[in-house]
Every structure is written in C-alpha cells, then in structure tokens.
Amino acid sequence: MIMPRGSGQLLLPANPLFIALTLILALVADMVPIGRSPMMPDLLAVVLVFWGVHQPRRVGVGWAFAFGLLIDVHHGSLLGQHALAYSTLVYGAVSLHRRIPAFGLIGQALHVLPLFAAAHAVSLLVRMLVGGMWPGWTLAWAPLFEAALWPLATILLLAPQRRAPDRDANRPL
C-alpha cells in the first residue's frame, strides 16, 4: 500500500464507541451555557468534519443532520438551520476525504477552512432569509478559529488509533 505523504504509520481502525463518545462530548460542549458569541468556534462542527474526513462510512450527512436538529432545538433557532449547515459541511468533508489526509496539519487546516466558512454562510443565509438579526462581522472569525482547532483535533482524535496492535516489552508504543 502506498502511504500518504503526511502520515508516518498505519492507523488502527477507529472504535465506533470512541466516535460516538467524541460526537456526544462535542455536542455537550456546544450546549454548555457560557454565552453565545458569533465568533465562538463550533466544536461539534470540527468533530463532524474530522470524522467525515477520517471515517466517511461511519459519520455522514445523516448524522450531521441529526446533530444539527439537536443544536437547533437547543439554541432555539430556526428548525433546520444548523442541520442544513452541518449537512453541507459534512458533505464537503466526505467529498474531500481522500485529498485532505495527504497534506500536513497546516495544509489540512487550510483545506477545511472553506468548508467551515461555507457552513457559517449557509447558516447566516437561512437566518437572514427568515428575518433574523445580523450577528455582526465578528462571525467571520469563527471559521478561522475552527480551522485553527483542526491540528489539535487531529492529534487528539487520532491518538487512540496510533497505538500498537499488540504491545510487548521491545516496542515502546
């Protein structure tokens, strides 16, 4: 097998329970009532894109739509606003799932930045079409912060897959 340029080792398969746990933890983190600013990064969007890139057969548009409906209900926004944005986001991630891992972490972050920007644009467009208030220009910072979180998310979420399949005394990992 030809290894992608950015990876140094083969990864173990992702545990479906770990995927579900990370998605639920990101959902809970987005639901924590710490105040909502337009420039705050959406952690659930970052985790959905990550798993859409790395496990496209397990996390797809259907899961993104379901999590989007949960966020819509929690935030009290128009039902389907975040669902449409997350579905668009994960569709783009699944479409690029073969291209993105071939780059380093900074290159990957630059590739997912337009996806995050498009998701925020879709959400803003839906909000404005139904007569919502303009959130301000600080909304433009959110995709930048989400793209900046991409390397950290990659390191943390791929860590369980980097361990050795069978540990022994001669292999430190």
In a domain, 166, yes or no: no
In a domain, 88, yes or no: yes
In a domain, 171, yes or no: no
| 62-100 burial: b if 16+ Cβ within 10 Å, else e | ebbbebbbbbbeeeebbeebbbbbbbbbbbbbbebeeeb
50, burial (CB in 10 Å: exposed 0-12, middle 13-18, buried 19+): buried
In a domain, 97, yes or no: yes
User: pLDDT digit string (tens) for 61-115?
Assistant: 999 999 999 999 998 889 999 999 999 999 999 999 999 999 999 999 999 999 9
In a domain, 1, yes or no: no
Query: What domain range is 51 assigned to?
Result: 16-29+39-161
In a domain, 136, yes or no: yes
Amino acid type, 120: H
For residue 3, pLDDT beyond 70: no
pTM assigned to the model: 0.87
1-5, 22-26, 162-166 — most confident range: 22-26
Total domains in the fold of the chain: 1
In a domain, 167, yes or no: no
